[in-house]
Amino acid sequence: MALKATIFKAKLQIANMERNYYGDHAVTLARHPSETDERLMVRLLAFCLHADPALSFGKGLSTLEEPDLWLKDLTGEIKLWIDAGQPEDKLVRRACGRAESVFIYCYGARATTWWQKTEGVLARCDNLTVINLAAADTQALAALVRPRMDLSCTIEDGQALVANGECSVRVEIHTLKQAHAVLQ
């Protein structure tokens, strides 16, 4: 019998000073049985960083043809494609061909090695931005996971402060590659 996804609900209060975006969102996340709490929270942080009423979670790990998050316009054209982890360069290039703007949020101990290996191949992807999140930061985020979360996220000066009322986690946002034309 196949394991089922675990459902998490989060109420988010987002204050993004860098984009002048302020809003409240109620989101539902499905965690694939093979997904870690750390990856789940990286996806949630990516949602906060790019928050928009039209931003939605994709099928993620269960479907390679969909990103972890995406934003489509009313015609169905993909404006923003967001993935977490260290995807294969072939999948990243395909995403860059399908979407106006692509963001990869790499994290964990192998993130630097992944980037060193794929940087040359992805250098020509003009619509690609690659962000590295320190392993210590994302592991601290994972400690905030609860089935029901009430979180605030403040983004300012290249940092995100995620708090749940009991504790807070500061996440440094390190840009490894900046797209030439970026949709935030």
**Looking at residues 151-171, what average pLDDT do you find?**
97
Task: Indicate whether 6 pLDDT > 70.
Answer: yes
Chosen CATH of 6-177 out of 3.40.50.720, 3.40.50.2300, 1.10.10.10, 3.10.640.10: 3.10.640.10
| Tokens encoding 71 | 């934003």
How confident is the model at residue 119, as a pLDDT?
Answer: 95
pTM score: 0.94
How confident is the model at residue 180, as a pLDDT?
Answer: 84
pLDDT single digits (tens) 50-85: 999 999 998 765 566 789 999 999 999 999 999 999
Contact criterion met (CB below 8 Å) for 5 and 34? no
CA distance 99 to 97: 6
pLDDT single digits (tens) 124-159: 999 999 999 999 999 999 999 999 999 999 999 999
Closest CA relative to residue 132, chosen from 80, 183, 176, 171: 176
CA distance 96 to 35: 24
Quickly state the pLDDT bin for 5 (edges 50, 70, 90). confident
